Structure 1
């Protein structure tokens, strides 16, 4: 059985920006908390999340 996240990933890989945005929104809290555990600073964690999101977006096709 395919989950909603799997469907969104497939759509995002095909270039659907809305699907990518929804994935980020769904996982944002976990991504932020993980970044914060590494950098121990709110501003730096936000920068890490932004950079990770950008890298994921630019390389989703691979």
Structure 2
């Protein structure tokens, strides 16, 4: 009876562990390379006329 409890606890523990590596597995459960985190989008600024300008230019505001 005790060995059944031990087996049940072990299976429950193993069932919870794939959640940690889920992002690095495909739909079939095979390990795959994790996707790279994308770089943040570059900031764009516009001048007073609404045209794109360098963010350091005078009068440029973030768009």
Shared fold (TM-score greater than 0.5)?
A: no
Q: TM-score, normalised by structure 1?
A: 0.27
Bigger strand fraction: 2
Q: TM-score scaled by structure 2?
A: 0.27
